[in-house]
Amino acid sequence: MKLVAPVVSALLLSVTAAAYGDDVAPNLLDDEIVDDASAELAEVVSSLDASEQQRVRGIYIALERSQVDVTALAACDDDGDYVVVLSRGLLDQVEAVAYADASDRVRGTHLLGGYGALLARAQRADAQVLPPPVSLEGADARARAGEVARAFAQDALAWLVADEVAHAISGELTCPSPTVTHEQADDLWTPEEHALALTLAPSRMAHLDAADAWATRRLLARGGSEVPAFELLRAMASLEDARPPGAATTYLTLHPHARGRAAAMRAAAQAWRDADRAARKSPTERAPMR
């Protein structure tokens, strides 16, 4: 059930004028973020060894249309193929954090610091995830912010996708008949498939740490940065803090304790860097002669 058609994932603009006026981020990434997610999946799969690639052959990105539910999960489609499901709500969340980061870098603002407080204070259950208020004035600023935001989003997506692939290659999820072909009519992630995926997903909650560490190592090995995923998890932690729970999303139900996961991911990244530096040291390196 392959979904490759471009889909526009617009940032939520329905915030009150009294609170934000017109000072809301434009959608600079548009449907590119959907294509980027597929590209990141291909990158992850290409880095697997032959047996792992065979296990998840034909794996693809499916887009769940909900802009309210924040969803990312590895699943099987109705043909028995592996799929990584991402919701529009999740892509909106990635974009929102990416724009906040871009504004901070381009304009010297401090939106990321305040965005978590906004989510914890103002997010409502059963509503689209609030974006940070961002204003990017001038063509140069907008172009630069677009570049920064897209680079940020790509690393965040790379980590999210790898995190879900980890559950498939570990054997926690086994699809019955993975193939490299898909039915032509399979162009949507259906509610029935989603319901089945959710029944299989909770068993993976005990293995989040291993999946997070694996995804972090893969990201760093390909030259990416863990910072975007770290900031995304911090925003997710604020959703968990929201009252009433605006965090009652599929992602946080299946991937709880976002704040602790963010800290553990940072520790895993540092451990990887330490090991990489040690491995790069020449074994024949000698101390200077006295």
233-283 residue pLDDT tens: 999 999 888 866 655 688 998 899 999 999 999 999 999 999 988 888 755
Indicate yes or no: pTM above 0.75. Answer: yes
Q: Quick check: 134 pLDDT over 70?
A: no
Nearest to 233 by CA among 202, 208, 265, 210: 265
Q: 244 preceded by cis ω (within 30°)?
A: yes
Residue 39 in contact with residue 157, Cβ under 8 Å?
no
Q: d(Cα 173, Cα 129) in Å, to the nearest integer?
A: 29
In-domain check, residue 2: no
Q: Say if 68 falls within a structural domain.
A: yes
Task: For residue 263, give the nearest of 220, 228, 234, 235 by alpha carbon.
Answer: 234
Weakest mean pLDDT among 71-85, 153-167, 219-233 = 71-85
pLDDT tens, residue by residue, 164-209:
999 989 888 888 888 877 665 455 788 888 888 888 776 667 789 9
Number of domains making up the chain: 1
**Domain assignment of residue 255, given as a range:** 17-279
Pick 28 or 128 by higher pLDDT.
Answer: 128
Is 150 inside any structural domain? Answer: yes
Query: What is the pLDDT of the chain when averaged over all its residues?
Result: 80
Identify whether 142 is part of a domain.
Answer: yes
Per the CB < 8 A criterion, the answer to whether 59 and 45 are in contact is yes
Question: Is residue 275 assigned to a domain?
Answer: yes
Q: What is the CA radius of gyration of the chain?
A: 20
Q: 276 vs 38, 212, 217, CA distance in Å? A: 28, 18, 10
The pLDDT, as a whole number, for residue 50 is 94
Assigned domain for 8 exists: no
DSSP string, 151-179: HHHHHHHHHHHHHHHHHHHTTSS--S---
Judged by DSSP in three states, 233 sits in helix
**185 inside domain:** yes
- Read off the DSSP letter of residue 242: -
CA atoms of 245 and 165, how far apart (whole Å): 28
The answer to whether position 289 is within a domain reads no
Q: What is the pLDDT of residue 140?
A: 63
And the tokens for 116? Answer: 């978590």
Rounded to whole angstroms, the Cα distance separating 176 from 119 reads: 40
